[in-house]
């Protein structure tokens, strides 16, 4: 009997012990974990791209940063120049050129962080190339004029308010492709064109003078004057029109309407005079000018050296004809 009781007690104790271990295992399954004891299955991953600003001024110093991070809720930017941010996307203006390491630290609600860095080299972009100005009929070909079927090398080049039109003549190479500033006449050419403010330009003109007579008249030594006139000197309220075909140009109504306006020193960017070399070959002269604050200028060329009291304009060329074969204006980049 005692042996049976011992067996029952032993079996019961074993059963209780087994149940206790089983219960502990079950409880372990539902026990709340300590902080950090569960792995973050979607940790944050920091990433970003950047774009340099563009524009005519100092926009090259402005950078924007697009946040490409994943699984993150908080962000910390370090732009490498002492500036920081906690915005989602970044933006910074740098003081100037240099190399900077930009870092983004992304973190999630569990405190897991990821840091991504990129090095940027900031360089001021080269200034864009200045385009060459557009001159119409720069070779002085014989073309129709507005409202007329007559052909003239002065087509596109006439401003009757400040001179008489240049004339057609045979010239360099024997073709009718030169404009003539006749002797003792107030002949001229005039055309307005667009320029880039503060840009430098060169102007080249191919010309020929008739030789001075062995027995000269009253006004030997015709001269050719070249002026580049400021757009800021145009008459008040005037807006230039840039025609694309020579026959479309009117013969008056431009920004310069009087010779006095032309001769006002403050209105001129360039004044050059070609003296008679007493050699009737064609020669090329080249000059330079800066556009200043102007986005439009006018080219005015006239013959000088004659009787300034003759006619209606206060100038004439001297006793010798002058011919211009072409004029070219190019940007200096």
Sheet-wide strand order for 48-52 = 48-52, 62-67, 90-93
Residue 31 lies in a domain: no
84-122 pLDDT tens trace: 999 999 999 999 999 999 999 999 999 999 999 999 999
Confirm if 93 and 62 have CB atoms less than 8 A apart: yes
Question: 153 and 262: one domain?
Answer: yes
CATH of the domain at 324: 2.60.120.260
Question: 156 and 230: one domain?
Answer: yes
Residue 318 lies in a domain: yes
Question: 108 and 193: one domain?
Answer: no
Domain limits for position 98: 48-122
130-172 pLDDT tens trace: 999 999 999 999 999 998 888 999 999 999 999 999 999 987 7
| C-alpha–C-alpha distance, residues 313 and 310, integer Å | 8
Question: 159 and 111: one domain?
Answer: no
Question: 97 and 148: one domain?
Answer: no
242-260 pLDDT tens trace: 999 999 999 999 999 999 9
Domain count, the chain: 2
Q: Which of 304, 331, 332, 299 is nearest to 318 (CA)?
A: 304
Instruction: Give the residue from 61, 90, 122 where a domain finishes.
Output: 122
CATH of the domain at 77: 2.60.40.10
pLDDT at site 174: 65
Instruction: Answer whether residue 216 shows pLDDT above 90.
Output: no
Residue 311 lies in a domain: yes
Angle CA(300)–CA(224)–CA(257) in degrees, nearest 5? 25
Residue 114 lies in a domain: yes
Residue-averaged pLDDT of the chain: 91
Question: 59 and 161: one domain?
Answer: no
Question: 221 and 323: one domain?
Answer: yes
Residue 323 lies in a domain: yes
Place of tokens 């991953």: 45
| C-alpha–C-alpha distance, residues 265 and 271, integer Å | 9
Question: 229 and 102: one domain?
Answer: no
pLDDT at site 40: 78
Question: 112 and 148: one domain?
Answer: no
């Amino acid at each position: 009997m005692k042996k049976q009781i011992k067996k029952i007690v032993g079996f019961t104790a074993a059963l209780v012990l087994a149940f206790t271990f089983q219960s502990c295992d079950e409880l372990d399954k539902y026990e709340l974990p300590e902080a950090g004891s569960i792995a973050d299955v979607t940790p944050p991953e920091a990433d970003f791209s950047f774009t340099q600003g563009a524009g005519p001024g100092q926009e090259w110093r402005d950078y924007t940063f697009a946040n490409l991070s994943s699984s993150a809720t908080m962000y910390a930017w370090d732009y490498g120049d002492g500036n920081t941010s906690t915005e989602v996307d970044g933006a910074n203006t740098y003081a100037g050129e240099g190399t900077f390491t930009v870092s983004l630290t992304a973190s999630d609600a569990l405190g897991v962080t990821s840091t991504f860095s990129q090095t940027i080299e900031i360089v001021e972009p080269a200034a864009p190339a200045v385009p060459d100005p557009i001159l119409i009929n720069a070779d002085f070909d014989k073309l129709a004029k507005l409202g007329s079927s007559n052909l003239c090398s002065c087509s596109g080049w006439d401003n009757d308010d400040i001179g008489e039109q240049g004339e057609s003549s045979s010239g360099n190479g024997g073709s009718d492709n030169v404009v003539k500033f006749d002797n003792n006449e107030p002949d001229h050419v005039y055309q307005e064109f667009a320029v880039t403010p503060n840009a430098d330009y060169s102007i080249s003109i191919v010309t020929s003078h008739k030789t001075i007579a062995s027995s000269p008249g009253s006004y030997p030594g015709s001269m050719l004057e070249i002026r580049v006139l400021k757009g800021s000197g145009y008459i008040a309220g005037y807006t230039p029109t840039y025609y694309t075909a020579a026959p479309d140009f009117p013969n008056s109504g431009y920004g310069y309407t009087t010779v006095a306006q032309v001769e006002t020193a403050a209105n001129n960017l360039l004044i050059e005079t070609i003296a008679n070399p007493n050699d009737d070959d064609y020669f090329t002269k080249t000059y330079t000018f800066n556009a200043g604050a102007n986005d439009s200028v006018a080219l005015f060329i006239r013959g000088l050296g004659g009787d300034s009291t003759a006619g209606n304009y206060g100038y004439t060329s001297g006793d010798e004809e002058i011919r211009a074969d072409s004029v070219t204006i190019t940007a200096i980049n």
